[in-house]
């Protein structure tokens, strides 16, 4: 099963071109949509979740069964919603409600009319998201990570075939982030799971396929491990004084800088040894991201995605 997005564009009334001819093929499993704030990620997620209309383009999910039938996302919204799970960037909760009560309420809305099956589904999801022990606590006392896990529990009602998670780890402490990512990693076996984020590590740790988006355009579609491998021998680093950075930017293709003990660690992209005491380093997905954003890598070409 694939999610096929073809030539999707969106322009807001104020003239902002949020999406420009976006085309992606997203297979089963965890798929990372990586880009800075304002890149168009949330607009695309809302369109996929049937909350916004694109100006043009088509989106199909399927086939969902052996019949070969696929869902036309833009013209069969009700049918898509039957198999959709969505955790938006800002997940609003009812602070005085208890986790078990709220999940039960959403289960009713999802169509779990039979009490016994609904109770079993609610219990299974609370246990899966590690919230069973706090099921009777008021949500207002939950940590950020606990609220996010409750949001995933709600999104998973009905065993969706398309799960959309928008900026899920923003604001989480390190321990909660690890727990949340471990939960997400379990969900992609039988569904298309889209992780929209500006945090490179989330994609690096979870996703077998990814795309980088900026200013509404897809800059790169790739498998993270292969994208990193293609940079081997092209990323160099050097510790410099901050005041020498402007001159270096005129001489080399600087992709990232990081302050380190009062000096600046600079990474550059260069197919050939740059000299001047630069040290060759093993690339990582952060180097792929910054090289792509700087225009030194990818150049908009579409890569094969893992089946």
pLDDT at 178: 82
pLDDT at 129: 87
Contact 9, 19 (CB under 8 A): yes
**Residue 194 token pair:** 């889209």
In a domain, 120, yes or no: no
Q: What are phi and psi of 266, to 5 degrees?
A: -115, 135
Residues 218 and 237 in one domain: no
Residues 38 and 56 in one domain: yes
In a domain, 77, yes or no: yes
**Residue 91 token pair:** 């997940």
Under the banding of pLDDT at 50, 70 and 90, the label for residue 205 is confident
Residues 267 and 208 in one domain: no
Among 55-69, 75-89, 236-250, which is the least confidently predicted range?
55-69
Strand 71-72 versus strand 217-222 pairing type? unpaired
Residues 169 and 276 in one domain: no
In a domain, 33, yes or no: yes
Helix (H, G, I), strand (E, B) or coil at 124: helix
Residues 184 and 268 in one domain: no
Across the chain, what does the average pLDDT equal?
Answer: 89
Cα–Cα dist 252/246, whole Å:
10
Residues 27 and 81 in one domain: yes
Residues 275 and 168 in one domain: no
pLDDT at 223: 94
Average pLDDT over residues 222-227: 94
Q: What is the DSSP string of 98-122?
A: BHHHHHHHHHHHTT--SHHHHHHHH
Under the banding of pLDDT at 50, 70 and 90, the label for residue 300 is very low
In a domain, 306, yes or no: yes
pLDDT at 304: 42
Under the banding of pLDDT at 50, 70 and 90, the label for residue 302 is very low
Q: What share of the chain in percent tops pLDDT 70?
A: 93
pLDDT at 273: 94
pLDDT (tens digit per residue) in 254-289: 999 999 888 999 999 999 999 889 999 999 999 999
pLDDT (tens digit per residue) in 106-138: 899 888 889 999 999 999 999 988 899 999 999
Residues 183 and 270 in one domain: no
Average pLDDT over residues 150-170: 86
Helices 144-155, 99-109: crossing angle, 10 deg rounding:
30
The DSSP code for 133 is G
pLDDT at 305: 40
Average pLDDT over residues 27-31: 91
Residue numbers of the domain that contains 250:
233-281
Question: In the chain, how many domains are there?
Answer: 2
Average pLDDT over residues 225-246: 93
Element at 245 (helix H, strand E)? helix 245-251
Residues 266 and 191 in one domain: no
pLDDT at 92: 67
Element at 146 (helix H, strand E)? helix 144-155
In this predicted structure, the answer to whether residue 158 has a pLDDT above a threshold of 90 is no
pLDDT at 82: 87
Average pLDDT over residues 147-158: 87
Under the banding of pLDDT at 50, 70 and 90, the label for residue 52 is very high
Which residues, 6+ apart, have CB-to-CB distance to 73 below 8 Å?
48, 50, 59, 60, 61, 80
3-state helix, strand, coil in the chain (%, to 5): 35, 30, 40
In a domain, 261, yes or no: yes
pLDDT (tens digit per residue) in 65-113: 656 689 999 999 999 998 999 988 766 668 889 999 999 998 998 888 8
């Amino acid at each position: 099963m694939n999610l096929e997005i073809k030539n999707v564009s969106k322009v807001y009334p104020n003239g902002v071109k949020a999406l420009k001819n976006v085309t992606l093929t997203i297979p089963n499993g965890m798929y990372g949509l990586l880009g800075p704030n304002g890149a168009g990620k949330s607009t695309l997620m809302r369109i996929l979740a049937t909350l916004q209309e694109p100006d043009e383009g088509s989106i199909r999910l399927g086939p969902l069964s052996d019949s070969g039938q696929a869902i036309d996302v833009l013209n069969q919204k009700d049918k898509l919603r039957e198999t959709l799970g969505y955790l938006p960037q800002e997940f609003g909760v009812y602070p005085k409600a208890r986790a078990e009560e709220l999940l039960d309420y959403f289960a009713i809305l999802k169509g779990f009319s039979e009490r016994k099956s609904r109770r079993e589904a609610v219990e299974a999801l609370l246990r899966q998201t590690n919230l069973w022990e706090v099921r009777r606590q008021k949500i207002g006392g939950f940590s950020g990570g606990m609220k996010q896990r409750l949001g995933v529990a709600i999104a998973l009602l009905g065993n969706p075939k398309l799960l959309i998670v928008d900026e899920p780890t923003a604001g989480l402490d390190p321990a909660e982030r690890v727990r949340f990512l471990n939960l997400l990693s379990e969900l992609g076996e039988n569904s298309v799971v889209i992780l929209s984020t500006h945090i490179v590590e989330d994609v690096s740790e979870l996703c077998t396929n990814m795309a980088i988006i900026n200013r509404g355009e897809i800059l790169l579609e790739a498998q993270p491990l292969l994208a990193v491998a293609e940079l081997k021998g092209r990323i160099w680093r050097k510790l410099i004084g901050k005041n020498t950075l402007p001159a270096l930017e005129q001489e080399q293709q600087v992709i990232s800088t990081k302050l380190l003990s009062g000096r600046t660690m600079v990474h550059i992209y260069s197919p050939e040894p740059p000299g001047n005491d630069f040290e060759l380093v093993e690339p990582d997905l952060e180097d792929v991201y910054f090289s792509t954003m700087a225009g030194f890598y990818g150049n908009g070409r579409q890569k094969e995605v893992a089946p």
